[in-house]
Amino acid sequence: MLRLKPRLNALVRPPVANIDQAILVVAAAQPDFSLNLLDRFLVYLEGKQIHAEIYLTKTDLVAPARLEEIQAALAGYEQIGYATFASVPPFEAATLAAVRASFKDKLTIFTGQTGAGKSTLINHLVPGSSWPRGRSPRH
């Protein structure tokens, strides 16, 4: 028998429900790291009752001092309950393994600004999983 399960949470774009967690992908640069934008994404996700973890991309594109500044900011988010991942250099095996462990058996969505590096990250986490660039029905 077909049955609709209750929607514990739902998103409109993309249309998904009963999400266990989100990996919020934020770039250190290109697009510029923005605490304001990070907070807005977190508030949006919390409003949908979706727990977020934060993944910092493009750590290779900023000077060490700027990276330290960003990591200090992210440590504050860690303290209030958001797991954060930041690989220096990008896509180190240990960081990728930690992220994979965090979404094991969980319906996980990847969200964040256009160009933040979501597709690239997903390709590193699950090689061959992404649609070829430009062929995706959305995103």
Ligand X SMILES: Nc1nc2c(ncn2[C@@H]2O[C@H](COP(=O)(O)OP(=O)(O)O)[C@@H](O)[C@H]2O)c(=O)[nH]1
Distance in Å, CB of 62 to ligand X, minimum = 10
Written as six digits, the tokens of 83 are: 């797991």
Closest to ligand X by CB, 58 vs 79, is 58
Q: Establish if 116 lies at the interface with ligand X (CB under 6 A).
A: yes
Distance, in Å, from the CA atom of 30 to the CA atom of 49, rounded to the nearest integer, reads 29
Question: Quick one: what does residue 116 bind among Mg ion, ligand X, none, with the CB cut-off 5 to 8 Å set by partner type?
Answer: ligand X
Distance, in Å, from the CA atom of 104 to the CA atom of 97, rounded to the nearest integer, reads 11
Closest to Mg ion by CB, 81 vs 134, is 134
Among 57, 84, 108, 111, binds ligand X (CB under 6 A): 57
Q: Which of residues 102-121 bind Mg ion (CB under 5 A)?
A: 118-119
Question: 7 near 16, Cβ under 8 Å?
Answer: no
Distance in Å, CB of 109 to Mg ion, minimum = 13
Question: Quick one: what does residue 124 bind among Mg ion, ligand X, none, with the CB cut-off 5 to 8 Å set by partner type?
Answer: none
Distance, in Å, from the CA atom of 133 to the CA atom of 59, rounded to the nearest integer, reads 23
Distance in Å, CB of 80 to Mg ion, minimum = 28
- Which DSSP category does 89 fall into? S
* Edge-to-edge strand ranges of the sheet holding 108-111: 84-86, 51-57, 21-27, 108-111
Contact footprint for Mg ion (CB under 5 A): 118-119
